Amino acid sequence: AQSVSQHNHHVILSEAASLELGCNYSYGGTVNLFWYVQYPGQHLQLLLKYFSGDPLVKGIKGFEAEFIKSKFSFNLRKPSVQWSDTAEYFCAVANTGFQKLVFGTGTRLLVSP
Amino acid sequence: EAGVAQSPRYKIIEKRQSVAFWCNPISGHATLYWYQQILGQGPKLLIQFQNNGVVDDSQLPKDRFSAERLKGVDSTLKIQPAKLEDSAVYLCASSIGTVSSYEQYFGPGTRLTVT
């Protein structure tokens, strides 16, 4: 069965600091990978996704993630965080061609101004 | 474009009572999902519909949970009878189709508290 691990449950950063959130998945086949974000009081929304091709994918609001197949990882990065990035971030994996998403437990990010 | 609508937003019931949640997906979206998100965990898929047919309900506790999607549009999720461990946020999502390349759009969720 697929599983997703997010090792950082809570992260606190100051504005302008760099961000990296870890995500590792367990699955033997070809996968599609996603990062979702939930801002306070808002719906869960897609931040970025990887299906194939360039393992470095760019998403909205300056976020990017790198797929490293050998490490089963899909870490999320942002060079300089803003207070508005305060949110909960979820990594998710799905079989290729099938939309069943398996989510990690999430990472709560607090950015202090 | 209107998003995924869910109601009610909050519900408090006692254990052994029944409860129902409603979801209206984005117009034209053939695929509808119900997720359960327990505090401190990520969303877990309960059931997936393609139009009005069930694609995956492997994680739905069928002894107490049921869901339907009449006419391939709106959907209801019911719990009967509720247990304390059913306290969670129930999220509805929709997408154009079942293929992974289609983005899932989530609703605001219904927060259920079972006392």
Percentage, residues of chain A above pLDDT 90: 80
Does A101 contact B43 at a Cβ distance shorter than 8 Å?
Answer: yes
**For B3, which of A4, A43, A49 is closest by C-beta distance?**
A43
For β-strands B88-95 and B105-106, DSSP reports them as antiparallel
The mean per-residue pLDDT over the stretch A18-28 comes to: 92
Name the strands in the sheet holding B65-68, side by side, starting at the edge strand that comes first in the sequence.
Answer: B5-7, B19-24, B75-79, B65-68
Chain B hits for A104, Cβ within 8 Å: 42
Give the residue carrying structure tokens 């034209």.
Answer: B28
* Structural tokens at position B99: 């293929």
Model confidence over B25-46: pLDDT tens digits?
A: 999 999 999 999 999 899 999 9
- How many CA atoms lie within 13 Å of B24's alpha carbon, on the beta-carbon side? 6
CB B105 within 8 A of CB B94: yes
The mean per-residue pLDDT over the stretch B97-108 comes to: 83
Model confidence over A50-88: pLDDT tens digits?
A: 988 999 999 999 999 999 999 999 999 999 999 999 999
- From B56, which residue of chain A is nearest by alpha-carbon distance? A100
Q: State whether residue A85 is helix, strand or coil.
A: helix
Q: A24 Cβ partners below 8 Å, 6+ apart?
A: A4, A5, A7, A71, A72, A73, A74
What pLDDT is recorded for position B2?
Answer: 82
First CA to last CA distance, chain A: 41
Model confidence over B3-17: pLDDT tens digits?
A: 999 999 999 999 999
Q: Which of A44, A48, A96, A105 has the most B C-beta neighbours within 10 Å, making it the best mutation to test the interface with B?
A: A44
Question: How far away is chain A from the Cα of B73, in angstroms, using its nearest Cα?
Answer: 18
Residue of A12, A16, A62 lying closest to A35 (CA atoms): A62
CB A103 within 8 A of CB A79: no
For β-strands B5-7 and A107-112, DSSP reports them as unpaired
